[in-house]
Chains A and B, each alone.
Chain A
């Protein structure tokens, strides 16, 4: 396991439910990311936070709502999702955004989301 954890690992929800995905990084990084991974498609960047400030919202529908209370934690709040939102949601962190010597993004194991 890397220093990025995600809970839950699996989630099944109905279209009217409200749920949240949690990500925590233990690496002392300042930037955190949410990605969506669907079958046979490239990873899609959803949101980016740097020092708890959102710097990127990649045209994500409002039924996905991110929250970054501090640099170690990142949440993705879900409500009134659609079946096509079923996917693996990956969290990642990096030392800083693009300007740091080290650019590596460290990924969590993901949350497998199924929307019924």
Chain B
């Protein structure tokens, strides 16, 4: 079974600064997907960024980027130029690769990190 650990229950950052959220995971799979989801106070969860484990290049989406360290099983999210609208719960999640068989559609989530961006 897979597990996802987010060791920082809460973090805060000043507007316009950079912040990094940590995520580690445990799996015996060699190929898989990793995700960061954002859940603002309005509660609608949205996908921020996705990484495929067989791709060595770190994913980037505008101000959001990841540092994927496969050997260390680490998948951190960096938010640059933080904005007030980035205030939210951030969830790291794991999914087995579609060719892995079994329940390869299940998302395993961490407990989340509450990020507050201060003006």
Query: Do A and B interact?
Result: yes
Interface, chain A (partner B; CB < 8 A) = 1-2, 31, 40-43, 45, 48, 56, 88, 90, 94, 97-100, 103-105, 107-110
Q: Report B-chain residues with C-beta under 8 Å of the C-beta of A56.
A: 103, 106
Whether the pair A108, B105 counts as a contact (CB closer than 8 A) is no
Interface, chain B (partner A; CB < 8 A) = 4, 9, 33, 37, 42-47, 50, 91, 95-96, 98, 103-112
Q: Report A-chain residues with C-beta under 8 Å of the C-beta of B91.
A: 42-43
Whether the pair A45, B107 counts as a contact (CB closer than 8 A) is yes
Q: Report A-chain residues with C-beta under 8 Å of the C-beta of B109.
A: 42-43
Whether the pair B45, A97 counts as a contact (CB closer than 8 A) is no
Whether the pair B46, A88 counts as a contact (CB closer than 8 A) is no
Known pairs A2-B44, A103-B105, A109-B42 / 7 extra A-B pairs, C-beta < 8 Å:
A2-B46, A40-B9, A41-B111, A94-B105, A98-B96, A105-B47, A105-B107
When the two chains form the complex, which single residue of B46, B98, B108, B111 contacts A107, counting CB atoms closer than 8 Å? B46
Whether the pair A90, B45 counts as a contact (CB closer than 8 A) is yes
